[in-house]
Amino acid sequence: MITEKKSLFAPLAALKFLFRKPHTLRFPFEPKEPAPRYRGLHLNDREACTGCGNCADICPNQAITMVKIPEIQARPGDTGERPQIDYGRCCFCGLCVDICPPGSLSLSRDYYHIDRTTDSFVYLAKDERSDPDTFLADSDYSILKASLSHRKRDNQGFAPDIDYCLVEFDRTPMTTLPPEQRKTAFTEIVRGFTEQQAHREASRCLECSLCEAACPAGMDIREYVLAIWRGNYEEALRVIYRTNPLPSVCGRVCTHKCEETCGLGKRGEPVAVRWLKRFAADQVPLEDYKRVLGTERIEPVNGKVAIVGAGPAGLSAAHFLATKGYRVTIFEALPQPGGVVRYGIPEYRLPYDALDKDIDYIRSLGVQIRCNTRVGEHITLQKLHEQLDAVFIATGLHVGRSTKVEGTDHEHVVQALPLLRDITEGREVFVGEGVIVIGGGDVAMDCARSMARLQMRRFGRVRVTATCLESEDIMPASRDEIDEARQEGITIIPARGPDRIEIDEGEIKGLHTVECVSVFDEAGKFNPTFNREDASFIEGDMVVEAIGQGMDTSYIPQDLADRLDYEGRRIKVNDRFQSSVPWLFVGGDMAQGPDVVTAVYNGHQAAEGIDAFLKGEQS
C-alpha cells in the first residue's frame, strides 16, 4: 500500500485562511450580495396594480396567472385580480415588467427563497413594505419573501422604464379647429381621425377590457378597436351596433367613462375610444348599413309598441325592438327627433348630419316617428295603452330649474334648454353685450360657448362669464369643455354662489355673488354653505340659468301616477325598466343618470324587457 508522506508542519497551512472572509453566512443576520446579473424576484404594488392581466398575456412561458384577491374589491378600472408567478416556468425575461401599464410590477433583488418546503415556487407578488407585520417571525415565511434585515435603500433588480416600455403612452393627436376660427361659427370643432391616425391609435389598445366594465352601455370596446386596427371597419360597426345604435352621436358627445379606466391612463394617455367609435361609424355610408348589419330583411312578430320621446333612450329602444320584428311608433313633441342631443347640444359638438345618420337608419327599419305630437295633448297615454301592446316613456329632463334669487323674473334672465333650443331652430335670440352663465356643467359650458359665438357675430368680441358653486376640481363639466371654453375667451369663476341680480331702470347690470365654501354636507347631500363676507360683482346685461333640469310628468294622468312607485323624484323601475304598471316601461333621465350613453343602455334593456313582457315571460 502506498501512502503519501506529509510534513509535520502541514496542519499549519490552514492558518492562511485565518484572516480570509468566510463563505458561510449567518442568515438572516448578514447580508448576501446577489450577482450583478441577478434580476431578482417579482414585486407588485397592489395599490397601483389594476389587475389588467397584460403581464399574463405577454408571458412566453405562461408563468403568470391572474388570481382573485378577497380583500381587493373589483370596480371600474380594477378587476380585483393580481398576478401569481410560477417560478418553475419563469425565465426572468422581464417582459411582464415592460408591458405593465401602471408600472406596478418590477423585479426586486431583495427576495430570497427561504421557504422550508422544496415545492413552494408559486408566488403571489406583493410589496411587503406596505405590510411589515407579516414578517415578524420565521414562522411567517410561507413562500418567497424578503427578509427585512436584508433591506437596502436601493436594491432594484429590473424596474419599469417608461422610455423603454412595450406600450405607447402618447395618444394620437386629434385635429381640431383653432380657437380664433371656431368661436366665429358653429362648425364642428373636432375633425376626426384619418385612416392612418385611427390605425395608430387602435394599435395602442392592449385588449385588457378594463374599459368595458366602466361603459354604461356594456359595449364590446376591445373587439371594435381590434377590428379598426385590422382595417375591418364594417366588422367594427357590427360590434358597436350590438349594444349602441347611436355610434355617430356617442362617437362625438359620449362622456367616455371607459377612457377614465384605461390602463394606459395610469402613466400616460388613455386610448381615444370615443374618437375610434366615431371613426368606425364615419367609414360606412348609410346606404350600406342594412347590408353590413344584416337588417335587409327582418321577420315581423306580433306586437306593437309606443315610445314617448325621440331622445337617445327612445331611439335606442326603437332600434332594438324593430330588429326583433315589432312595429314601433315614436311620439315626439318637438319638430324633429333627437331630444336633448339635437336641442341641447350645439352643432359645433354634434353636427345635425351625424345625428340624422343614426336616426335615418332607425327609420329605415320601419320605425315611425310622429313629430309635433305631444302625448297628453294630442293623444293620451291611456289611448296609447288601448291601441298598442306596451308603452315606453323616455321624455328626459326638460324643465329648467331656477336659482330663484332676486331678479330672476327679468325678461333677459333665461333658462338654458329653451335658449339652446331657440339657437338650434334658428330663432332670433337676445344677445347681451355681457353674458353671465350660472352653472358648472356641460350644459352651462354649451350655453356660454354658444353665446360667445353669437357675440362674435354681433359685436366682434366675446364677453361671457360662467360662474358656479363648485370649485374647479369638482365642476361637473368635462375637462375638455372647460379648457375649450377658456380658449374661446370665456371667463370661468368657480366657487361662487348667486346672491341677487342687480337691475337698474329695468336693465340688468350684473350678478352679485358670494363665496361658496362647500357644495355638499358630510352626508354627501346637496347643501351649499356660503361665506357672505366674501362678496363680488360680475357685470353683465343678460343671465342664463343652467343649474339643472327636472322632468315633466304632466302627461301622466293622476290615476296612473298614483299606481307608480318612485325613488326620490324618479320613477322606480326594475332591471328591465318596467314600472309597477306592467305595460308601462320608463327609461332615460326619468329613471337613471343624465347622459347619452346611459340613456342608450336604458333603451336597450327596456327593449329586452318589453320583448319578454309581450312574450309572456318574466321581464
| Residue of 52, 59, 157, 65 whose CA lies nearest to 101 | 52
At residue 591, the 3 state secondary structure works out as coil
Which of 36-50, 287-301, 322-336, 511-525 is least confident?
36-50
261-282 pLDDT tens trace = 999 999 999 999 999 999 999 9
Which position has the higher pLDDT, 17 or 101? 101
How far is the C-alpha of 65 from the C-alpha of 261, rounded, in Å? 22
pLDDT for position 113: 53
- 333 and 311 in contact (C-beta within 8 Å)? no
pLDDT of residue 33: 66
Per-residue DSSP letter, 349: T
- The CB-side HSE value for 162 (13 A sphere, CA atoms) comes to 11
Query: Quick one: average pLDDT of 186-191?
Result: 96
CB 283 within 8 A of CB 233: yes
The predicted structure's pLDDT at residue 158: 80
Comparing 407 with 568, the larger pLDDT belongs to 407
Q: Is the pLDDT of residue 16 over 90?
A: no
| Residue 578, helix vs strand vs coil | strand
Considering the chain, tell me which residue range(s) the CATH 3.30.70.3270 domain(s) occupy: 26-132+139-158
Q: Give the length of the chain.
A: 619
**Strands in 120-224 per DSSP E:** 122-124, 156-158
- pLDDT, residue 148, reads 42
What mean pLDDT is predicted for residues 39-54? 89
pLDDT at 74 over 50: yes
Of residues 138 and 81, the one with the higher pLDDT is: 81
CATH number of 300-398+552-619: 3.50.50.60
Q: Which CATH number fits domain 402-547: 3.50.50.60, 3.40.190.10, 3.40.50.920, 3.40.47.10?
A: 3.50.50.60
Residues of the chain with CATH 3.50.50.60: 300-398+552-619, 402-547
Distance, in Å, from the CA atom of 99 to the CA atom of 97, rounded to the nearest integer, reads 6
How far is the C-alpha of 130 from the C-alpha of 200, rounded, in Å?
A: 39
124, 84 contact by CB (below 8 A)? yes
Integer angstrom CA distances of residue 133 from 31, 79, 129, 136: 21, 26, 9, 6
pLDDT for 246 equals 98
Rounded CA-CA distance 473/479 in Å is 9
At 132 the pLDDT is: 46
Cβ burial, residue 273 (10 Å; 0-12/13-18/19+)? buried
Every domain range in the chain assigned CATH 1.10.1060.10: 169-292
What are the residues facing 413 on neighbouring strands? 543
> What is the rounded average pLDDT of the residues 58-87?
92
Q: Is the per-residue pLDDT at 323 higher than 60? A: yes
What's the alpha-carbon Rg for the chain, to the nearest Å?
32
- Return the DSSP state at 175: P
Please give the grid coordinates belonging to residue 528. 351649499
Lowest mean pLDDT among 114-118, 405-409, 437-441, 448-452: 114-118
Least confident among 158-172, 354-368, 520-534: 158-172
Measured distance CA(338)–CA(360) in Å, rounded: 11
**pLDDT attached to residue 589:** 84
Mean pLDDT of 357-373: 98
- Return all residues near 100 (Cβ < 8 A) that are at least 6 apart: 54, 55, 160, 165
State yes or no: pLDDT of 119 exceeds 90.
no
Say what the pTM is.
Answer: 0.87
Q: Specify the 3-state DSSP secondary structure of 108.
A: strand
Pick the CATH number of 26-132+139-158 from 3.30.70.3270, 3.30.930.10, 3.90.79.10, 3.30.1360.100: 3.30.70.3270
So what's the pLDDT on residue 154?
Answer: 56
CB 214 within 8 A of CB 76: yes
Percent residues over pLDDT 70 in the chain: 89
| Maximum pairwise Cα distance, the chain | 132
Give the SS3 label for residue 211: helix
Strand 464-467, strand 435-438: pairing: parallel
Residue 142 pLDDT > 90: no
pLDDT computed for residue 45 by the predictor: 87
Enter the C-alpha cell of residue 484.
Answer: 375649450
Residue holding cell 450580495? 33
- CB-based contact 468:494 (threshold 8 Å): yes
Residue with cell 356641460: 442
* pLDDT of res. 570: 87
The fourth-level CATH superfamily of domain 169-292 is Alpha-helical ferredoxin (1.10.1060.10)
3-class DSSP assignment, residue 159: coil
The mean pLDDT of the chain is 90
Report the SS3 class of residue 236.
helix
pLDDT average, residue stretch 333-347: 96
Mean pLDDT to the nearest integer, 517-541 = 95
Check residue 27 and give its pLDDT: 52
